[in-house]
């Protein structure tokens, strides 16, 4: 409970999700398709949102965070907002092992939500979903955006499957897994964060990045869950390799508010997707 109280934005997110759950649980709504994709670790859920105009050739995939306290649904609202402001086809992936408020469950192991589910098999499953959707939708540009743990998975995808992604957006990334766990152990006084456990760290794979693919990094100045030093370290390391990378530490924002509508618009503008 102490962890939850440290991040009041999580409580706000819970209330918003509860108020807006009906639309994304209804697969019969116009412009919305719920699809399941078979992977080696089971079927994965993806909600696809189509813009009113179907000529757009951009695909934006959003990957939610670790969501330790509730079943995640905010990814659906974020994807809907992105589709509305960009006119792109957007996809919200329900990460392997997670259940949402619609009662749907993606196959796989959720783990302890401490980075132990940033694994090769999880990354491979998400890559398979994205690859299939790209073929189905025949889009010409794919942007993958991840928040928190989803940002770590996005970075790992960019390292393992660079051919799938044209631009990456990492928001509040725990990109150095060991440093993040140490920070969380101190912040929460939870000894479990110090226990030995698996998980891939994006910092360990930066040499695998395609240096010509753009990476956009964002983090709130007041983010306690994934402090700015984690993003800064990843930026310095990738920039030092010659990667095409940008970083913004956003004044006054925290782990949750960094995804508010005005900032989503700013992020979409910086990947050249914002509609006039």
List the domains of the chain with CATH numbers: 2-270 (3.40.50.1820)
Full-model pTM: 0.92
- Residue 274 has a pLDDT of 83
pLDDT tens for 87-129 read: 999 999 999 999 999 999 999 999 999 999 999 999 999 999 9
- Residue 55 has a pLDDT of 65
DSSP 247: E
**Mean pLDDT for the stretch of residues 264-276:** 89
* 10 pLDDT higher than 60: no
From residue 232, alpha-carbon distances to 38, 79, 211 in Å are 36, 26, 18
Helical pair 74-86 and 8-19, crossing angle rounded to 10 deg? 70
Order of strands, sheet of 214-220, starting from the edge strand that comes earlier in the sequence: 32-39, 42-49, 89-93, 58-63, 141-147, 167-171, 214-220, 245-250
């Amino acid at each position: 409970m102490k962890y939850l109280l440290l991040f009041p934005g999580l409580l706000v997110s819970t209330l918003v999700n509860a108020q807006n759950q009906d639309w994304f649980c209804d697969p019969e709504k116009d412009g919305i398709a719920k699809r399941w994709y078979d992977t080696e670790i089971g079927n994965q859920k993806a909600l696809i949102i189509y813009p009113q105009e179907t000529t757009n050739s951009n695909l934006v995939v959003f990957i939610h965070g670790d969501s330790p306290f509730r079943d995640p649904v905010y990814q659906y609202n974020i994807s809907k907002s992105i589709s509305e402001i960009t006119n792109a086809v957007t996809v919200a992936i329900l990460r392997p092992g997670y259940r949402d408020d619609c009662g749907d469950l993606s196959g796989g192991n959720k783990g302890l939500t401490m980075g132990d589910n940033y694994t090769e098999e999880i990354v491979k499953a998400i890559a398979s979903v994205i690859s299939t959707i790209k073929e189905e939708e025949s889009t010409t540009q794919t942007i993958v955006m991840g928040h928190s743990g989803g940002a770590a998975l996005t970075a790992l995808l960019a390292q393992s499957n660079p051919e799938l992604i044209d631009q990456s957006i990492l928001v509040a990334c725990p990109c150095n897994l060991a440093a993040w766990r140490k920070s969380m152990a101190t912040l929460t006084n939870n000894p479990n964060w110090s226990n030995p456990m698996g998980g891939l760290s994006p910092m360990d794979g930066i040499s695998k990045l395609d240096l010509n693919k753009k990476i956009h990094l964002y983090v709130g100045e007041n983010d306690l869950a994934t402090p700015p030093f984690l993003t800064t370290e990843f930026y310095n390391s990738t920039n030092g390799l010659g990667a095409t990378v940008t970083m913004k530490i956003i004044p006054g924002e925290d782990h949750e508010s960094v995804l508010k509508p005005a900032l989503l618009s700013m992020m979409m503008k910086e990947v050249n997707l914002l509609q006039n």
